[in-house]
Amino acid sequence: MPLCSICHITEATQTGSHLLSAFMVESTIGKRGEEEGYIISAEANFDYRNNTGAAPIVEDYLFCRGCEQRMAYVENYVCTEYRDKLKKPGYKSNFRDVSKTEYIIREALNINYYALLLFICTVIFRISITKKELFAEFKLTADEEEKLRKIINEALPLYQNFKVKIKRNQFIREINEKAAIFDGLYFIMASYDELEDETISFNMAYPEYTHPYNFIFGQFILYFFFIKPRKNIPNLDFFNLMNELDIDLIYNGEGANIKTVMLKEGRWKEILNIPRQILVRKKIPGLMKKFLEEFAKNNKHKPTNDDWVKYIDDNFPEG
């Protein structure tokens, strides 16, 4: 049995570890036990309609039970104080909208900066070490991965007597005392304020984008930096979002209140269309080849545009 990927002390006996938590993906894959997920591939023979449930984001034997529980403690705090309240009118007093132009910058007043950053570190670390297909191409450098592992192991609450029993105010006090270990880490978060159908999203990491790293996890876009972001410095930006915003106003760092860029529904859908169009462009050539081969076997005439459209409708009725 391998050792736990975080503490490097206890055997990694934990099964069913979620690489992405409810904080990120509940709106896209469903509640625990009711998950509905789909792998999207550019392979011509790949049927994207196969419901995978939570399988693509669950892996066994990465962590020990203690470290799993330590991460769950932080996840619970972030979910209840940030994710669950960010967009609900009843919690307006927990946030402050500091810009109301083409986009809103929503500043969180009641969530600890270092706890949320720690949670983000655990997610990025998990998808870097996994062998799961969904994130197989994503990999931090060895130094970056080890840096996050040390931060996570030092900052997570202690697991003692088979549980994490620290009170929340004590956890916040202790993580504030360890603020220095987070030096050099920065991030940008973006989401939507309102969306008619919250299930139309992706869970992806873009391995070719490393300065910063680019992610979309369900209802959140995340940019993660290992250097301080600055104006007029070209950043790799898959979502074409950073260049239209004042980076000094939107990045999170150095213990300040968490800021989230809240996008209008139309802009969010435009962003979702970027990976969708790329996947279609990659898939169409192989799909066309498959169509021509199948058509030639069953017909004596050349296919028309109508035949191609019918093939798409028959095989991909959901569009």
| Res 117: pLDDT | 98
Q: In the predicted model, is pLDDT for residue 313 greater than 90? A: no
Percent of the chain with pLDDT over 90: 49
| Res 52: pLDDT | 47
Q: In the predicted model, is pLDDT for residue 8 greater than 90? A: yes
Rounded-to-integer distance, Cα 56 and Cα 83, Å:
22
Most confident of 153-157, 273-277, 294-298: 153-157
Rounded-to-integer distance, Cα 73 and Cα 224, Å:
22
| Res 310: pLDDT | 80
* 190-249 confidence digits (pLDDT tens): 999 887 776 667 788 887 889 999 999 888 999 999 999 988 888 889 898 887 888 999
**Contact (Cβ atoms closer than 8 angstroms) between residue 182 and residue 114:** yes
Q: In the predicted model, is pLDDT for residue 304 greater than 70? A: yes
pTM score, two decimals?
A: 0.82
| Res 101: pLDDT | 64
Q: In the predicted model, is pLDDT for residue 41 greater than 80? A: no
Q: In the predicted model, is pLDDT for residue 5 greater than 70? A: yes
Q: Which residues pair with 225 in a beta bridge?
A: 186
* Rg of the Cα atoms in the chain: 22
